Structure 1
Amino acid sequence: MAIVQHLDAQFAKGLADWLNQQTDIPVKVARAGDRLEGGKILIAGTNDHLVLQSNLTLAYTPEPRTCPYRPSVDAFFDSLAAHWPDPGTAVLMTGMGRDGAEGLSHLRAKSWHTIAQDKATSVVYGMPKAAVELGAAVEILPLEAIAPALVNAKY
């Protein structure tokens, strides 16, 4: 599992530490060269974009430089669509702007199960709303239903 959140690099370690207190699943800041593996959570940890490379290792890149959201969910989702060998599950949650909507759409086109958080439980309904408007979400779920959906996912 990977978490890509618009979060300045100086806060990533604190988020990882806090999440480690909330779950039994180990959480750490992703480093270049790490791999996505079952049973652990990696958090994007720089102001560059976290991406999956063709060799299935993670890397950070400043491109696209024009993207105001750092790290960009679209950049990460697009790299998954390009390189991950099998469909999985992707979730787009509360946030400002449209980041992640197009990437979620690209994953859906690759047969991924895609979930957007619903309006009622979103603090800011920008990102999930954009995904819903694009038809990128297979499911639109309230916050409390997202974790059970991930646990019960076929992928």
Structure 2
Amino acid sequence: MMLKENRLTLICSHFYPTSEEVVINQIKYQILDTGGQEVARKLWKNYLEQVNAIVFVVDACDRSRFDTAKYELEKVLAMEELKNIPFVIFGNKIDSPYAVNEEEFKACLGLDKFNDIGQGDSFEKKRPVKVFMCSVFLRFGFLEGFNLLSQFFFRRIL
């Protein structure tokens, strides 16, 4: 809810997709949160035809779930129908002293083999994947990810 209402709320894990319209920097996003629980992950493939981007959020403090996150992320990145879809991966909760740093986060998720895209990069020559370390609590890092997505979409339109 931080993105939509600029307030921090506790969100309970859900087992069904939820959809919200969010405006960030005057750009309207239709965000579909499919959830990350095992039962929810089984439904991810049902939504692939409708996506323009993937935002993959991982708790940067919960090392016990890194292997599962890596496995699921690798499956999604390998899908042929998503080869030109931009991926923004957020390492959330970096405000915690237990959070891993960006280098370790990338290594644990197998993302160190990807070259991050950045401003001015040609999206046609690089797989559109970028890691952002963030803290929703401190309102840090996630806007940069959405700004990069907007850059990607505007380049595709021009």
TM-score band by shorter chain is 0.3 to 0.5
**TM-score calculated relative to the size of structure 2:** 0.43
Larger Rg: 2
